[in-house]
Amino acid sequence: MKQIIISLRMLGIMSLLLGLVYPLLITGIARAAFPDGADGSLVGVDDTLRGSRLIGQQMEGARWFHSRPSATDYNMLPSGASNLALTSRELHEVVEARRMKFIIDNGLEADAVVPAEMVFASASGLDPHISPAAARMQVGRIARARGFSRMQRQRLSDLVESMTERPQFEILGCARVNVFMLNLALDKLQ
């Protein structure tokens, strides 16, 4: 009986320590050291939560920059890839359909080289970034849909360049554009 009482006390102490004190301590440290990132890098506009800069969102319509495709329709709970093999006929059909849709939507030549991220979903299905080239290919469509003048179109191109994130330490990763943040900046440009 004595061993059971000791075990129950240790269970209570460890539960309190590791289940309450430790998480609160780590959360406090994270919020002090990384105030923006500790709560999920949330972005608000006019006191309204619009999303997280870390999570891709589907933007439809000609007036917006489009994100890369998502195998989970941007649903965070079952995030993941399609798991189709490179030899899969279904994958080839999906990729070709996405390529043709991108070409048609953006008024490109039929033989245009479409960046891979615009036809392949990311591994998580939630990646918010595309390449600067993919963003530039969408400028004409957006300018037409919004009725931009030549000067506004140039400002839109400049916006893409200013929102381009460089590789970390200039060597890790690739240049990329966060589509969610770019579309928020696009609203302000209008």
End-to-end CA distance of the chain: 74
The arithmetic mean of pLDDT across residues 144-156, rounded, is 91
Q: Is the pTM of this model over 0.85?
A: no
Coil/strand/helix, residue 68:
coil
Per residue in 23-81, pLDDT tens? 999 999 999 998 877 777 777 778 787 777 777 788 888 999 999 887 777 776 666 66
Per residue in 89-134, pLDDT tens? 988 899 999 999 999 999 999 999 999 999 988 777 778 899 999 9
From 55, 57, 53, 26, select the one nearest 41 (Cα to Cα): 53
Instruction: Report the pLDDT value the prediction gives residue 104, as an integer from 0 to 100.
Output: 93
